[in-house]
Amino acid sequence: MDREEGCLLEIDDLSKTFKGLHAVENYHLRLSPGEILGIIGPNGAGKSTVFNLLTGHLRPTRGSIRFRGQDITRLPPDRIAALGIGRTFQNIRLFASMTVLENVVSARQLKERSGIIATLLSWPSFHRTEQRLASEATENLGLFGLADRAGKAATSLPYGDQRRLEIVRALALGPTLLLLDEPTAGMNNQESMFVLDLIRRIRDQYKLTIILVEHNMPLVMQLCERIQVLNYGQIIAEGTPEQVRADPKVVESYLGRAMEDSKDAEARNG
Amino acid sequence: MAMSTRLQRLIPPAVMIAALAAILGATDLVAGDYLQRIVIIIGINVILVASLNLSNGFTGVFSLGHVGFMAIGAYAASILTLPVHLKAVNLPDLPGWLQGVAMPFLPATLIAGLIAMLVAFAVGLSLMRLNGAYISVATLGFLVIVQVVLVNWDQFTRGARTFAGVPAYATIWNVWIWAALTVYVVWRIGASAFGRDMRAARDNEIAALSLGVSVIRSRLLAFCMSAFLTGVAGSLWAHFITSFSPKSFFFTQAFSIITMLVIGGLGSVSGSVIGVFLITVLSELLRNAERGFDIGALHLPPIYGASQILMAVLFVLVIVFKPAGLMGGREIDIRGILRRIGASRRGKGAA
């Protein structure tokens, strides 16, 4: 495959088969820095599988993934994260025994920590690092309006706040590429719009590239410059929101139904 | 008025060390032989349970085989400290370079800890990849393997026969210095980046991985540090009890440590200490009751195994009613307590 200059992420021919079931087939992507890409599709279309392949939680059956020119196809998830790909999860995965602040610190500390000797001897440098981690994490929380909850148990937060906390935590890793798996799942309209605004702000402030898996169509249409539509593990359409909306294949397989769903949801929430 | 934060940070540990030293000093001077022995046993158990907490509590790798590291520490240190004339009698088949060695207590204990740690590293490289019950079963298998090796490696261990004549080097002081050190290390690791990695991997492995935490490496770190301290405890115990055999380090001992850990609360260092005190003191009291005693005219017959029955019952009660243990994973807040004492004193002064 040819390599393009200036590409942040290059995925070619990516496939994953579970016992004969093609969860993802021939998935491909060229992503430029600063872009916000939306991936939509019905349940079971393979969206989360793409995320799991991309972050090393699943091994692809076939294909290649290059991130900033480096082949990451078979790297373990912790290495991929360290290279600068952060993610959130469809089902929230916070650290239950930790406070809100500790959850964020546990991500920040990857790049900023005292060695084992300084830690065991409680050297001043250890305390300075701990204090810096805490104050930077508080700053991160402040951006999302969560600073006053810093000392609370993470899982005691309301659902919407837990989702936001997961985004803060992923950001605290200092990633170049951020993968958001249904960041507004289970939120009402007002909360969703807050998250929409937030995603734009973090993109601009942190110079991030973002891939978004979402069911909330209005949100995706407003936020993303480019959208991929998956169905049965394959890309059935790709383009700007307008192009995708007009694509008869998309309307037939997914969009019509999803649009109705989201109208229903609006009616319920409104 | 405001003290520098660095000085303030030193107050709680200074107070704790002073209090501990006072208690130990009093025990050393005043208490009888029996009470002194109990204080030493408590100290050794604190090391065993607090270090087990590092692995089982912080990383959630629930090892049932830590007593294996205790055994390795006990045998390794005892072989090193056994006086030369006793080596000739008890361990005549030792290799020549070991025959003439009779080390002091501290280096022997350190070497014993290091050997336990190396074994933990070798075993852990593969075991730490397992999860949940699989790890527990595998560590139990490790304990059985250690047992078989001890029984069959006559040249070094005298096999199933009693290993006797170990010098009684353990004192209240050296045991409790190690105990204090262990509690400090476990607490410090717990409240550091390393401890957060361990807890993150325990709480949610997938999320931890996606934040760049190497789950295997952080488990291995906890397992190896824990094995080192457990090996040290083994050495201390060997030089306290002075004669033992492989079966001293088997299921009974493994169960006793785990009971103290679970009752105190997984993941809480102060919980470990509380669990040790509670169980050691209770089982000592019951050990006396096992002989049978009289209350007035009433004569109670001896109840053999009462202390073990009590441990088992307590274990079940805690698991049913307080599954997170007495401390529930939290710590006693020494700073908070000191602040409150300080505040009430100032309040009295003003009045």
Closest partner residue to A95 among B193, B200, B329, by Cβ? Answer: B200
C-alpha distance from A108 to closest chain B C-alpha (Å): 9
Please state, as a whole number, how many other Cβ atoms lie within 10 Å of the Cβ of residue B136. 16
Q: How much of chain A, in percent, has pLDDT values that exceed 70?
A: 92
Q: Which residues contact B222 (CB under 8 A, 6 or more apart)?
A: B54, B55, B58, B59, B61, B189, B198
pTM, rounded to two decimals: 0.89
Interface check for B333 against chain A (CB to CB < 8 A): the answer is: no
Is residue A4 scored above 60 in pLDDT?
no
Cβ contact A106–B213 (<8 Å): yes
Q: Give the residue from A210, A214, A202, A209 showing the smallest Cα distance to A244.
A: A214
Whole-number pLDDT of residue B302: 72
Closest partner residue to A97 among B208, B209, B329, by Cβ? Answer: B329
Name the strands in the sheet holding A209-213, side by side, starting at the edge strand that comes first in the sequence.
Answer: A85-87, A177-181, A209-213, A36-40, A226-231, A234-239
Whole-number pLDDT of residue B14: 84
Size of interface A-B (CB pairs under 8 A): 93
Which residue would you say has higher pLDDT here, A3 or A170? A170
Whole-number Å distance between alpha carbons of B296 and B192: 56
Chain A CB contacts of B210 under 8 Å are 55, 57, 77-78, 81, 86-87, 89, 170
Backbone phi, then psi, for A65, in 5-degree steps?
-130, 125
Question: A78: nearest CA in chain B?
Answer: B212
CB A253, CB A231: distance < 8 Å: yes
Provide block-wise average pLDDT over 10 residues at a time, chain B (351 residues): 65 85 88 90 96 94 95 97 92 88 95 98 95 92 96 92 94 95 94 95 95 95 97 98 94 90 90 92 81 70 76 87 81 74 64 43
Rg (CA), chain B: 22
**Mean pLDDT lowest for which of A17-26, A251-260, B273-282?**
A251-260
Whole-number Å distance between alpha carbons of A83 and A174: 10
Structure tokens, A216: 């909330």
Interface check for A86 against chain B (CB to CB < 8 A): the answer is: yes
In a 3-state reduction of DSSP, which class is residue B138? helix
Torsion angle (degrees, nearest 10) of CA B112, B246, B222, B256: -130
Which DSSP category does A58 fall into? S
- Tell me what the pLDDT averaged over chain A comes to: 88
Cβ contact B203–A126 (<8 Å): no
Whole-number Å distance between alpha carbons of A41 and A45: 6
Torsion angle (degrees, nearest 10) of CA A224, A227, A231, A235: -150
Q: What's the pLDDT band for A61 if we cut at 50, 70, 90?
A: very high
Region A153-159 average pLDDT: 92
Q: How many helices (H) and strands (E) does chain A have?
A: 11, 10
Structure tokens, B261: 């850990």
CB B252, CB B71: distance < 8 Å: no
Interface check for A101 against chain B (CB to CB < 8 A): the answer is: no
Whole-number pLDDT of residue B141: 96
Q: What's the pLDDT band for A1 if we cut at 50, 70, 90?
A: very low
Whole-number Å distance between alpha carbons of A116 and B139: 26
**Helix or strand run (H / E) with residue B101:** none
Whole-number pLDDT of residue A180: 94
Q: How many helices (H) and strands (E) does chain B have?
A: 16, 2
Chain B CB contacts of A79 under 8 Å are 212
Whole-number Å distance between alpha carbons of A31 and B101: 67
Is residue A262 scored above 70 in pLDDT?
no
Whole-number Å distance between alpha carbons of B53 and B238: 22
Give ipTM to 2 decimals: 0.89
Is residue A70 scored above 50 in pLDDT?
yes
pLDDT in tens, A114-140: 999 999 998 899 999 999 999 999 999
Whole-number Å distance between alpha carbons of B214 and B184: 25
**Residue carrying the six token digits 């050190």:** B181
Whole-number Å distance between alpha carbons of A250 and A253: 5
Interface check for A109 against chain B (CB to CB < 8 A): the answer is: yes
Interface check for A89 against chain B (CB to CB < 8 A): the answer is: yes
Cβ contact A93–B204 (<8 Å): yes
pLDDT in tens, B247-304: 999 988 899 899 999 998 888 899 999 999 998 988 888 877 777 666 677 777 777 7
The residues facing A42 across adjacent strands are none
Which residue would you say has higher pLDDT here, A63 or B100? A63
**Residue carrying the six token digits 């496939």:** A15
Q: Which residues contact B26 (CB under 8 A, 6 or more apart)?
A: none
Which DSSP category does B22 fall into? H
